[in-house]
Amino acid sequence: MTSEQPWLDRVRAAYDGALGDEAVLDVESTFGLATVEVPPGRWVESLGVARDVLGCAFFDWLTAVDELDEGFRLVCHVAGHRGGSVEHLAVRTLVPREAASLASAVPVYAGAGWHERETHEMFGVEFTADGEVLALDKLLLPDEFEGHPLRKEFVLASRVAKPWPGAKEPGESEHTPTSPSRRRTRPPGVPTPDEWGPRGLEDADE
C-alpha cells in the first residue's frame, strides 16, 4: 500500500489486512468519506490502524447513536492531511443496549477522553481500560440529574414545558386577528407535563 493509491483503496487495503472479513467498508459519496464497521472487540485495534497505517493523526469527534433494540452505535471520526487535502474516515461499532460497554479509545487518541465522558453522560455507555470500567465524571449535566437525555426513551422536560417552536397554530397568526382560536396541540410523541421524564424502552417507539 502506497500513499499514491486513492484514499478509499488505501482504507480497504488497510482493514482487509488487519481485520479481514470482520471489517465492513462502506464508501459514502458525500465528500468521499469512508466508513468502516468493526466488531466491538477490535475497536481500539481498528483505531490504531486508522492512525498508524492510514496516517489519520487528527481526532475529530466520538459519539453514539441510539439504535433502540439494536443497541448503541459508536462512531469515531478521524482525518489525515496529505498533499493539501484532507482524508476522512469514520470507524463505527455496535454494542448491545444492555450493559453497553466499549474499550476506551484514549490509548490511541488522547483527545477521545472528553468525548467518552460526554457519550457516557448522554447515552449511558461505559468505557473500559484493561477490562476495568472507568469512573467518568459528569461533564455537562448537574450532579443531581438522573438518566441519559440522548437515549430515545428519555423525554426532555423542555419539550413539554415550553411551547413548540415554529409555525403558529391556526387562529394564532398576527395577520388574522379575527380567526377563531383552538386549543394548542402538542407535537407528536410529546406527553403531558405529568408524564415527562425517564421512561422504559418499550415507550420509545410510540
120 with 191, same domain: the answer is: no
Considering its fold, how many domains does the chain have in total? Answer: 2
> CA 31, CA 122: separation in Å to the nearest integer?
29
Please, which residues have CB within 8 angstroms of residue 73's CB and are 6 or more apart in sequence? 64, 65, 67, 92, 93, 94
- Find residue 196's DSSP bridge partners: none
The answer as to whether 138 is a domain residue is: no
The pLDDT of residue 145:
87
53 with 126, same domain: the answer is: yes
**Percent with pLDDT over 90 in the chain:** 56
Range of the domain at 80: 7-133
- For residue 90, the one-letter residue type is A
Show the CA angle centred on residue 44, arms to residues 88 and 80, nearest 5°: 20
**Residue 111 belongs to domain with CATH number:** 3.30.460.80
Q: Are 78 and 89 in contact, with CB atoms under 8 Å apart?
A: yes
Per residue in 92-112, pLDDT (tens digit) is 999 999 989 999 999 999 999
The answer as to whether 42 is a domain residue is: yes
The pLDDT of residue 179:
47
Question: Model-level pTM?
Answer: 0.75
45 with 15, same domain: the answer is: yes
Per residue in 170-204, pLDDT (tens digit) is 555 555 554 444 455 555 556 665 665 555 656 55
